[in-house]
Amino acid sequence: MEDRIREDLVRDIGIKRFEHSLRVIEVAMKLCDIYKVDRDKAYMACLLHDCGKFQDENNLLKHSHKFDIILDEVMMDNKELIHAPLSAKIAEYRYGIDDRDILSAICYHTTGKEDMTLLEKIVFISDYIEPARSFPGVDEVRNLVYRDIDRSIVLAMDNTIGFLISRNKLISDRTVNARNDLMISIKRRG
């Protein structure tokens, strides 16, 4: 089955995006060992996290409609957000993934959400820091993630929110709520 998934992914999302997914897996496996998370679940979530990231916007919108994904104003303002819930639907219906943990990690890998599981956190941050990513602040997040995954995600979200503000983009309430939830948890820990 995995060979078929790999072939389909290369065809659907292209070799560059597929190679990105492999780098995300590489980071996630290291984090799974540190944070004691199921490697098989993380592997599948990372492999399929971008399976709905079609190269053409019309395809993205067509597939979103097909799967009854409600596109709110935030998603229409920042169409990059659409591929995450779409990828979860494609993983479920095309690739037969029925594990709710994997599907949720795929669905929220761009925005995060309140009360994230460790699997969701690992997929989120692995996508953000994979080795080919190069932008201001990524190295600081990379260094922090191996000591404190929650603080690294907050820093990643801070960077993303700042970037979105600088581009006059809308910010997902899921990201704001996820950040607040993590900050509360960090403050309680001391």
Integer Cα distance of 93 and 101 in angstroms: 15
Which of 77, 53, 71, 187 lies closest to 127 in space, CA to CA?
53
pLDDT at position 54, please? Answer: 75
List the structure tokens of 76.
């229409």
Between 144 and 5, name the one with better pLDDT.
144
- 61: pLDDT strictly greater than 90: no
pLDDT tens-digit profile of 126-158?
Answer: 999 999 999 999 999 999 999 999 999 999 999
List the structure tokens of 32.
């799974």
pLDDT at position 3, please? Answer: 81
- 108: pLDDT strictly greater than 80: yes
If you average pLDDT over every residue of the chain, what do you get? Answer: 95
Residues 103/92, Cβ–Cβ less than 8 Å: yes
pLDDT at position 90, please? Answer: 96
